[in-house]
Amino acid sequence: MSKVYFYYSAMNAGKSTVLLQSSYNYHERGMRTLLFTPAIDTRVGPGKVKSRIGLEAEALALQADEDVFAHVKAAHAAQPVACVLVDEAQFLTRKQVEQLTEIADQLRIPVLCYGLRTDFQAQLFPGSAALLALADNLIELKTICHCGRKATMNLRVGPDGRGVKEGAQVEIGGNDRYVAMCRRHYKEALA
């Protein structure tokens, strides 16, 4: 039976790097993968997965109303797909996560999703909440706070470098806007 996997972490844990390595492993064995990323994430251009260490690959940019199951079913009918990989999975809709479960259950293709668990206010993203509820396997990727402890929180910082407490849940950014921290230092940064 194929499964849905959710690899989650705070910022800067190497999620995109692990996704690209997984895809490479399939390709190295002559198997086809399909890569997806939500269209809302435009940091490196539409339809790209890129890691901070420089690895990158083309991906299909998904709009929130797109049916990922239909994309994969059509692609699989044309040429077998061995694995589906999704970057920035926190931005998926619940419906899209449900479609990913159908890819695993009906098409029998494993689905590997990578994303943040929570936002800058320690609230679950819709895609992450759905994956935490529906994925077969949950795998935490670890990164560290500046103190050396495991980072589990994502601090949003303003132009002045200070922690931000309020704002829209989704504000696309990288190291310029977010810092991974342990819970203690996250709380101190917002005090």
Condensed to tens digits (0 to 9), the pLDDT of residues 49-74 reads 778 777 778 898 999 999 999 999 99
Per residue in 115-141, pLDDT (tens digit) is: 999 999 999 999 999 999 999 999 999
H or E stretch including 36? strand 33-38
Residue type, 18: V
Catalytic residues, which ones? Answer: 88
Return the domain boundaries, the chain: 4-142
Contacts of 149 (CB under 8 A, 6+ apart): 182, 184
Nearest by Cα to 99 from 124, 71, 75: 71
In degrees rounded to 5, what are phi and psi of residue 48?
A: -135, 140
Work out the pLDDT band at 82, boundaries 50, 70, 90.
very high
* Whole-angstrom distance, CA of residue 6 vs CA of residue 138: 5
Percentage of the chain modeled with pLDDT above 70: 96
**Is 0.85 topped by the overall pTM?**
yes
Longest CA pairwise span in the chain (Å) = 55
State the CATH architecture for 4-142: 3-Layer(aba) Sandwich (3.40)
